[in-house]
Structure 1
Amino acid sequence: MRSSLRFKVALLFSVLTIALLLAQALGVRTLAEAQEERLITALIRDDMASVLRSYRANPSLLPPFDLRMNGYVSGADHQAIALPAMVRNLPAGAHEIIIDGREIHVAIAPLDTARLYRVYNFNIYEKHFKEVVNALMAGTGVFALLTIWLSFGLSGLLVRQVAGLARQVKELRLGGTAPIHPGKYDETELVVLVEAFNDYHRRMAEMIAREKEFTGNVSHELRTPLTTIKTSCELLEQDAAISGKSRARLHQIERAADNMGELANALLTLAREDSARDAEPVALANMIETSLMPFADRLAQKGLDTVIDVDRELRVVANRPALAIVLSNLIDNAVQHTGHGCLQFRYASGWLYIEDTGPGIPAHALPYVFDRFYQGGSPRTPTPGVGIGLSIVKKLCDRYGWAIEIGSEPGKGTCVSLRLPATNRA
């Protein structure tokens, strides 16, 4: 799934800022804990030095001797604390021990032939320190939430002009013709982008105008001679003097004119962008029969039978001219490659199947049958045509959303599957 530019900018700002805030909070916490330890160590060191001096100067100030500890035990806060026996085995210096769930510091120093144990309880100080650290971390969380909110607000300001450009581009796509005015944008990069897009839009408009003019010329200049050819063929067919090979040639000319007319219709249909919206209920069986009519002579010459296993009441919603072109090309392709047998049309589960009993298509050629100008015939058996029939069929199917598949096996014929969902039956 694609994310918006605003979301990406806000996410980047948020992640970077939150990472910096967390790094700062953790750094402050680590530094504060290290400073706390150094402060406690300094306090214990100074206090022990002072106490030892006073005890040595005035032995009467010594606390009671503890036989169990083999030393003198005193408390810095004047609270009696029973030390565990394991403390007796600790070396001289400052130590941290846990007594009744409390963290206690014990300083041990030699005093004449005995030892001095001095107990320090910094629980209250450490409790306040932890409260300050927790407040710092909570403040970091609040700042992180504030950062997310500010990031989305600031990212909206940063991408505002990009969003405006996107709206203007969309308006152009929906039919606007005026170019985008670059003076509305402040950023240099956007101004360059607007100018490049305006140039591209201008060239696209000129190209579309040329294509429309070209298709208009084709529609007029190509249809006119084709109509003349068709009319002449119809008049010549009424001449009883024409017979045999001449009449066969005349039929070939008429079929070629029909094929050229269908090809021109297909190309013009593909060139019209709005043609995809022209859909209506179509009687599929009648459409197949109509598409077969131009091939009646060729089917008779080859002795090919046609089987239409389609309900005559079946209706499909489709663009009638486009469907006629697709069926005509598929039938023409099947007739060209089928020397004997039959052509079968059947409809099932929303699919129209067109099957022939031809030689089939080699497996290596199947992926390329819809490619423009591709012909699967061998050099010894060249395929008639120029190889654009199936290409036109595929483009029309893509235009109207009709799935098309070709299955074939050499020696067993070919089956073309065309997805045409049925509508209500008449």
Structure 2
Amino acid sequence: MREGRRHSLGRRLILIYGLVSLLTGALVLGLSNFSLNRLEMSLQEIDMGIAIERVREEVANGGEGRPGRFFVGAPGSQRFPADLRPLAPGFYKLMRGQRLWHVRVLDEDNQRFLLMRDYTDYEHTQTTLVMVGLISLGGLVVLAVLLGLVTTRRLVRPIERLAARMTMRASLPPCSRLATDFPANEIGTVARAFDETYNHLELALQRERLFTADVGHELRTPMMAALSACEVLRDEEPLSAPADAQLQRIEASIQDMRQRLDTYLMLARGEGDCLGFPHASLAQAVDEQWQGSCERAQRLGLAPRLEHLPGATTPPTYPLPLLRTVLGNLLRNALQYAGTGSELLIRVGDTWAEVQDSGPGVPAHQHEAIFLPFTRGTQPSVDNLGLGLSLVKRICLSQGWAISVLSPPGGPTCFRLDCAPALQ
């Protein structure tokens, strides 16, 4: 919070006001002072040149000239003060002792003329004017900061207040409105637009959650009835071995449907709590999915192969329904796109599993897109809605797992699931 206030829009605006006024004032003051100094030196050079001519006429008419300030003689002669002899023709500002002098040197007909004027008091006045300019600049900066404060209070504070309310909107009751706390100006318009958009999304999300909950509740009833019917059927009369095997398969399918339904409800709630799910290791889940997919792979003309890599004596366990959904979708995806004659390889370790096929591969620009909903490959089947890999991605995000794809041009395509660390 302190970091946010340090870089708030209001403070930035005040800082900008102060910096702009400071830079502008300093630039104007500096350019003005520089221009005035150059103009002063040019005018002084011209004026002192004219003054030298007047003093020369005065001396020629028998006047005393300017004793101690006007000198005539050959360049470098002893008539000139020792510190002024090296000066070339031109105009100079020199400090002599505690006094500031303007000096004009003029050469004409092998004669050098040097005139001095005491400008100490004038320079003190100029220094005073510069100080007044600096004080005015400081006042301008203070005024700009005050203007920034007023602007912040009138314009930026409502924006910051609206941003804070937007940030806290999720903690407010449903269908709350922010626009009632702001005036009917541009900020109020933004608040009303936010209210309309947020409340619309909130209602849509609520309808989706209610629909998911209703579907989950209503589907459990016929599934429980089907399980009860299986139990009654087994208890009423003895079944043959083939019939009992089919009944077990029906019961297993219903249980699998219940667990899948629980998985979808968990994702719809946006939660990662799997405490009620049975847990199993990755190797156990892979073996289970392998048994269900191996026969289909062989019917499709694929060469399936399973590799268990050695690992820990007691491998970590993960929610079994989630592993079933992830691995089942990866295997179905490989069976669909591998193509006849391709190799299907599954490798599994303690915390990771890979599903690799030697099919045509996935273009590099689609490696991220294939995990988006309703994204299908170039050879989609009728029952492929493009949701399997999207569901895999959402489960991995909810559990902190990682799913990645490696597919160089021409294949093979390898999907890798990393489950570490385990969420128990």
Q: Could you tell me the TM-score, scaled by structure 2's length?
A: 0.70
Residue equivalent to 2:27: 23
Change (3 A) 1:108 1:203: same
Residue equivalent to 2:59: 55
Among 105, 120, 129, the residue aligned to 2:116: 120
Change (3 A) 1:355 1:422: same
Q: Deviations over 1:213-236 (max 9, x none)?
A: 211221123333444456656777
Q: Comparing 224-233 with 155-164, which one deviates more in the overlay? A: 224-233
Q: Does 1:36 align with 2:40?
A: yes
Tell whether the 8 Å contact from 1:279 to 1:319 is kept in structure 2 after alignment: yes
Shift of 1:400: 3.4
Shift of 1:266: 4.1
* SS of structure 1 residue aligned to 2:416: strand
Q: CA–CA distance in 1 between the matches of 2:233 and 2:297?
A: 25
Residue equivalent to 1:313: 314
Shift of 1:145: 7.0
Q: CA–CA distance in 1 between the matches of 2:47 and 2:333?
A: 100
Q: Deviations over 1:369-400 (max 9, x none)?
A: 42434444748xx5864332111001222333
Change (3 A) 1:340 1:84: closer
The AA in structure 1 aligned to 2:17 is F
Q: CA–CA distance in 2 between the matches of 1:7 and 1:148?
A: 13
Among 178, 198, 202, the residue aligned to 2:199: 202
Residue equivalent to 1:343: 346
Gap runs ≥5 in structure 2: 299-303
Identity %: 19
Residue equivalent to 2:354: 354
* SS of structure 1 residue aligned to 2:281: helix
Change (3 A) 1:395 1:293: same
Among 83, 103, 110, the residue aligned to 1:105: 103
Among 215, 218, 221, the residue aligned to 2:215: 218
- Aligned-residue CA RMSD (Å): 5.0
Q: Deviations over 1:289-327 (max 9, x none)?
A: 2564466354367676655445352336x6665445324
Residue equivalent to 1:68: 74
Change (3 A) 1:148 1:33: same
Q: CA–CA distance in 2 between the matches of 1:18 and 1:65?
A: 47
Residue equivalent to 2:416: 417
* SS of structure 2 residue aligned to 1:395: helix
What is the total number of aligned residue pairs between the two structures?
Answer: 401
Tell whether the 8 Å contact from 2:376 to 2:386 is kept in structure 1 after alignment: yes
Among 157, 166, 169, the residue aligned to 2:166: 169
Residue equivalent to 1:77: none
Residue equivalent to 1:398: 397
Change (3 A) 1:361 1:149: farther
Tell whether the 8 Å contact from 1:314 to 1:422 is kept in structure 2 after alignment: no
Change (3 A) 1:268 1:174: same
Tell whether the 8 Å contact from 2:282 to 2:348 is kept in structure 1 after alignment: no
Shift of 1:285: 5.1
Change (3 A) 1:404 1:44: same
Change (3 A) 1:216 1:142: same
Q: Comparing 39-48 with 332-341, which one deviates more in the overlay? A: 332-341
Q: Deviations over 1:91-121 (max 9, x none)?
A: xxxx2258899975225487xx996724214
Q: Deviations over 1:123-169 (max 9, x none)?
A: 63575367447646764785687578657745652422222112222
Shift of 1:17: 1.4
Shift of 1:344: 2.9
Residue equivalent to 1:299: 294
The AA in structure 2 aligned to 1:222 is L
Tell whether the 8 Å contact from 1:360 to 1:413 is kept in structure 2 after alignment: yes
Change (3 A) 1:205 1:182: same
Change (3 A) 1:410 1:97: closer
Tell whether the 8 Å contact from 1:361 to 1:409 is kept in structure 2 after alignment: no
Q: Comparing 31-40 with 185-194, which one deviates more in the overlay? A: 31-40
Change (3 A) 1:395 1:258: same
Q: Could you tell me the TM-score, scaled by structure 1's length?
A: 0.70
Q: Comparing 30-39 with 60-69, which one deviates more in the overlay? A: 60-69
Q: CA–CA distance in 2 between the matches of 1:109 and 1:341?
A: 103
Tell whether the 8 Å contact from 1:292 to 1:331 is kept in structure 2 after alignment: no
* SS of structure 2 residue aligned to 1:159: helix
